[in-house]
Structure 1
Amino acid sequence: MNRKKGPNRKRKHYFVTSATSSARHDLFVPLPSKPPIALQIRSISDRLQSVGYHSMALTHTVFGASQKHEAGQVIPDSWFPCNDSNSRTTLTKCQRRLHVVVESVSEVAFLFSSSTNSSWIQEYDLLSVAPRNAATFRQACLSSHTDIVTLDYASVRGGLPYSIGSNDLRALFARGAVLEIPYAAAILQQSLRPHFVQACRELELACLGVSRPYLLFSSGPTASTTTNSDSDPIDGELALHSYTDVLHMITTVTGLKDAWFQGAADAAIRHAHRRRGGRTPFDIAQRGSDPSRAVAKKVSKQGVKLNAETATINTIEESKETEEIEGEDGFISF
């Protein structure tokens, strides 16, 4: 029996977000602490461009959140190479990121619960948390405000100061957030390489029971962040390597699966859009099921219900006049 298509009938399109897209993003580029800051940022931008990246996130690191750090004052628009008409950079997007190092659960609660903080925190395009113990790691994974949770293996001499739990990772990935592994410190400092490998090995074991991990590697600071000092985290551009080189290095040395890194940057950006109350470029649907239905699974004694499995199959409705489907901001990340 043939159905006639009405004149105003909308077509429903299913497409798969490309995990091997040519767009590459470094979402952890620390701000230089010494002048000339704008010149250093432009130099880093040129370096990222030369190794194949298309966007970056300038990152302001704070210890706790007791004071306001207005995004426009900390990272003014004039520092963005993307906005400089005289710059030759081909970076298509520059973002602001707030990176908060937390040592107690009370700091996490104050960061996300205080009404005085919510307004200025929302000004940042990305929000990441670097936990220093098991309690803050669990809280960061469960909090809906955190876009990225960073493994700070360089914070103490013994490496990662807590164990990575599978239940915490399920909670993190099920809400669309990602786990980040900075690599620059391990590349430039030989003493930190064993800690980097050990953290990745522990992460591999924790991810074995997770249906769809989202792991993100970024350059990050090139020095240890043990204290709130004025030392410049960017002391060289040799730590900025191409995406494929870093992916090959991490998967070969640590045993992490390359599929776990696919789509991670895009997932972090989507989560940030939802956190800020904006519309996301894509709607995540369940694999092998009706996109409007979500499968929930109880994974912890606290009764947290999480999505069993997410996929990059996205559903978009468009009218007849629509000829192209394009992600928000004009790009789809890897």
Structure 2
Amino acid sequence: MLGLNHTSMSEFILVSFSAFPHLQLMLFLLFLLMYLFTLLGNLLIMATVWSERSLHTPMYLFLCALSVSEILYTVAIIPRMLADLLSTQHSIAFLACASQMFFSFSFGFTHSFLLTVMGYDRYVAICHPLCYKVLMSPRGCTCLVGCSWAGGSVMGMVVTMTIFQLTFCGSHEIQHFLCHVPPLLKLACGNNVPAVALGVGLVCIMALLGCFLLILLSYTFIVADILKIPSAEGRNKAFSTCASHLIVVIVHYGFASVMYLKPKGPHSQEGDTLMATTYTVLTPFLSPIIFSLRNKELKVAMKRTFLSKLFLRHLSGWCGSADRI
């Protein structure tokens, strides 16, 4: 993070959930359980795909990459938020704040790019099945995943370097539970702040909107092809391969639009803080649930892989006890 301007301020104070002192313990327990479930769900998906050879396909490779980005995104935000809910000291160093912004934006954009790649994967599988193995070769899939991660890192670097080149003066309280762009811009001073705010906003919106439009275009072709299938069973089978991805896209962009595209006006800090948790905590929490429950092949593989191992372990333990008797 070379060139960061911290001559006017060495640390910030994250206001976090100080507006809800009577709810902080309850929020801590709720967010902790959701965070642990998010980690467990994504690790379970990754372990299932790793252990089941039948799932070594492009779709599940992308799903594993998505789980990794989701884990890293939550790690960048939630542990600090949980610590602040129990602590009275909410200070965060200038460099730590910049690092949190970089990692949260990098993994957040990587998530969006991977969802776009998964939409393209479903488009090729349904609309061009004969070319699928060629277009989605192992090398091609690795390249798509690598480009998603590289693109996310570039976006994170651009946003972070742009924001932290500003001079911060006056109050050092960030009205949020993480180092986020809008509350930091309120602490910046200088004639170029409006231009920076406009530029960063346009870059982020164009990237997210571009991903969304590409996914929408993919599903336009997918739906058109599915409707051409003569049998209802064939249509249902084709659509079932897209259902979990489509639901996650709706949840991801639905909560993102509520958080980032809400109309400007007199919003309370408490309302904005709680609204932000829908994207930073609730969306990652719902994603593994949706993929696990809506993807029949993954659900069957999970049961076969982990329940069978658990049963065999229990059976071997019972047999060992019987032998000793």
Is the structural similarity TM-score above 0.5? no
Point out the structure with the larger helix share: 2
Point out the structure with the larger strand share: 1
RCO comparison, higher one (Cα < 8 Å, 6+): 2
Structure label with greater radius of gyration: 2
TM-score for the superposition, normalised by structure 2: 0.23
